[in-house]
Amino acid sequence: MDAGHVNVPESHRDLLERPLFAHLATVRPDGGPQSSVMWFVWDGARIRMTHTKSRQKFRNFAAEPRVALSIADPEDQYRFLEIRGVVEKIEDDDAEASFYKSLQHRYGMDYPIRDAAERVVVTIRPHTFVAVVGGGITARVAG
């Protein structure tokens, strides 16, 4: 465990491990928020997402690295996890967009990648987890 590691509440860990959809909140350069539905993968300490260099969210990350995500259980959307964190790094994907491909595979959606040169890997370090069941907070863990 590295410094600053925050454990996800055990009751909600499955929401990070399953190939679910994260709603990602970012702050635009004008200070207003934006919300997008995104693929992600969790390695036990970091959330990673694929993105392209040309889109608004990429500019948002650069201007304001603080982000938030919410992930709901599709079988019971009253059980969800809120995550707050910071974009720790943004790196180019490799020439084959291997990270993007691994995400496609995780979500069962393999298709040809036409924008590999534009693809980046966005790494988010969570610092706060809020676990909700039935509309009520059951755990809050902050680093």
Residues near a second copy (CB under 8 A) = 21, 23-27, 31-37, 64, 66-70, 72, 74, 77, 80, 82-84, 132
CB of 92 to a second copy, least distance (A): 20
CB of 81 to a second copy, least distance (A): 10
CB of 94 to a second copy, least distance (A): 21
Question: In the chain, what is the straight-line distance between the N-terminal and C-terminal CA atoms, in Å?
Answer: 13
CA dihedral 79, 143, 69, 71 (to 10 degrees): -20
Burial class (CB in 10 A: 0-12, 13-18, 19+), 127: middle
Strand partners for 18: none
CB of 101 to a second copy, least distance (A): 15
Choice between 1 and 76, CB closer to a second copy:
76
97 token code pair: 């967009």
Q: Rounded distance, CA 2 to CA 123, Å?
A: 15
Choice between 1 and 60, CB closer to a second copy:
60
Choice between 21 and 44, CB closer to a second copy:
21
Q: Rounded distance, CA 40 to CA 42, Å?
A: 7
Choice between 117 and 137, CB closer to a second copy:
137
